Chain A
Amino acid sequence: MAYSKKVIDHYNNPRNVGSLDKQDDSVGTGLVGAPECGDVMKLQIRVEDDHIVDAKFKTFGCGSAIASSSLATEWVKGKTLDEAMEIRNVDIVEELSLPPVKIHCSVLAEDAIKTAINDYKSKHGQAG
């Protein structure tokens, strides 16, 4: 299978790989997927004044899964929580030119963003 240039670029130069302290009150963590399905994403955000000021990811998965989560961290940075909630998997599909069999990677990335935001919110007594 041929990968798009953007997928290859994210795979070779993943943005924002790493971890934030998940105990930290300003950090929200999303861990989604399952090892037996072949993809697990961990996406973390640091929030200040309702804005996402930093984001990190680690992903176990194919190149498209790595690229989707790498792109997700790029996109959430600088956004408010509400704005980040608006990111949809189809935008990721389009940006990375993912083929149909890889759409689930983008779904997982969207899930990871939402789960991370909800984790942050629940730490701050807001309903997720």
Chain B
Amino acid sequence: MKTPIYLDNHATTRVDPRVVEAMLPHFTEDFGNAASRNHAFGWVAEEAVEQAREQVAALIGAGAKEVVFTSGATESDNAALVGVAEFYKEKGDHIITATIEHKAVLDTCQMLEQRGFRVTYLEVDEKGSIDLEQLEAAITDKTTLISLMAANNEIGTLHPLKEIGAIARKHGVLFHCDATQGVGHQKIDVEEMNIDLASYTAHKIYGPKGIGALYVRRRKPRVRITPIIYGGGHERGIRSGTLNVPGIVGFGKAAELMLADGPTENQRIRALRDRLREGITREIDFVYLNGHAEFRHPGNLNLSFAFVEGESMLMGIDDIAVSSGSACTSASLEPSYVLRALGVGDDLAHSSIRFGVGRFNTEEEIDHTIRRVVETVSRLRDMSPLYELAQEGVDIKSIQWNAH
């Protein structure tokens, strides 16, 4: 077993060697510009792009013509939200999203608010689930778009896409889904779920960074978006810019592998994730699961280790790559807004660790991680004044702390 162990597969994933292999020729011999219409270099590139487009579309049950390549899910989210808001602004000025969406959605919504659009941010319950009745009640005749993600990148909770899609359709509102963490890890079918726009990215499914896709429905209804990037008119004018052919080919291969292996792979990943959770909670107490226990991304485990601060945990398990919702690990000095939205207290948010199990993890790595986590939590609790107080039976909430 090699260390460090990578258990941060929601941040990014290792590129699958089969993906790398598919990409390589497009750096060397087949380096053409897919927009070059009058020589073989261009034709080869274009053919590779169109094959990849089929593969990327198939992953979500879409048609190839409905997929626009972007630089990643951040751009796709921006393009979907701004594009729909602008194109349909005569119809309405209202967007509905949720408080736990990715910043690529939330910050774009904030910008749109500054431009005069109105945004409703649905609250979530303690598991990260929205209330479908609240969603429906929030829709007005000015609502043009609902944007809700497939799987949450921090806590793994899934939004009920089929139910959301049905509500959106019933009210004639478009449904954008940030499917970045969901694709390949759960069933996503744009027809069955009435998804009108979807964002996803290669680097979360063992493809390269810097290449993403935006699905834009072409039939029933035909969705139009105002572009956010202008230039040579690539991608039917929706997204100008020379196509990243090696990236696109890699994305296609990654999607193909996911489509073929996803179902069995996810079972294996879920079993490893459950082994990790059980192994940890069997050995230590005061460990809390953040997010939904069942309705959850198969590789996601988000735990709060009470009385232990997250960054000090990361320092202790330094041969394991994970991430924390602690303020200390972010630039903002605020703990995770997602955990806050769930009503997890700031103290437990500071104590949270996100494990992301993926394709390349092994049982041996999981068992090693369990040992290291248990050791580190025990050691840090031995030096935690909060643990000591809890052992003495003092309720930590009863103490008058000096917030600083």
Contacts and interface: CB of A to CB of B under 8 A. Distances in A.
B216 to A, nearest CB: 40
Contact of A60 (B346, B386, B403): B386
B383 interface: yes
A58 B390 CA distance: 13
A62 B328 contact: yes
B69 interface: no
Contacts of A127: none
Nearest to A66: B312
B307 interface: yes
Interface residues of A, number: 31
Contact of B383 (A66, A101, A104): A66
A58 B404 contact: no
A40 B401 contact: yes
Given A39-B309, A62-B311, A66-B312, A101 B404 contact: no
B401 A34 contact: yes
B315 A11 contact: yes
Interface residues of B, number: 31
B347 interface: yes
B315 A38 contact: no
A63 B315 contact: yes
A99 to B, nearest CB: 11
A104 B333 CA distance: 11
A58 B388 contact: yes
B403 A31 contact: no
A19 B387 CA distance: 12
Q: Tell me whether chain A's interface is mostly helix, strand or loop, or mixed.
A: mixed
A106 interface: no
Interface in A56-115: 57-63, 65-66, 101, 104, 107-108
A77 B399 CA distance: 28
A39 B315 CA distance: 15
Contact of B404 (A37, A57, A63, A66): A37
Given A38-B335, A40-B386, A41-B385, A63 B311 contact: yes
B333 A61 contact: no
B147 interface: no
B307 A60 contact: yes
A38 B328 contact: yes
A33 B383 contact: no
A28 interface: no
Interface in B377-395: 382-388
Nearest to A43: B385
Contacts of B311: 62-63
Contact of B312 (A32, A58, A62): A62
B404 A34 contact: yes
A35 B345 CA distance: 10
Contact of B385 (A8, A40, A62, A63): A40
B383 A35 contact: no
Contacts of B382: 17
A26 B350 CA distance: 34
A61 B312 contact: yes
B326 A38 contact: yes
B100 interface: no
Nearest to B311: A62
Contact of B401 (A36, A42, A101, A104): A36
A23 to B, nearest CB: 13
B328 A59 contact: no
Contacts of A11: 312, 315-316
Given A60-B308, A104-B404, A35 B315 contact: no
Contacts of B293: none
B114 interface: no
Given A38-B350, A63-B312, A101-B333, A33 B404 contact: yes
B229 interface: no
Interface in B316-355: 316, 326-328, 331, 333, 335, 345-347, 350
Given A17-B383, A35-B350, 6 more contacts: A38-B309, A41-B385, A60-B384, A62-B312, A66-B383, A107-B404
Interface of A: 3, 8, 11, 14, 17, 19, 31-42, 57-63, 65-66, 101, 104, 107-108
Interface of B: 307-312, 315-316, 326-328, 331, 333, 335, 345-347, 350, 382-388, 396, 399, 401-404
19 contacts: A8-B315, A11-B316, A17-B382, A19-B388, A33-B402, A35-B346, A35-B350, A35-B396, A35-B401, A38-B328, A39-B309, A58-B384, A60-B309, A60-B386, A61-B312, A62-B311, A63-B311, A63-B312, A63-B315
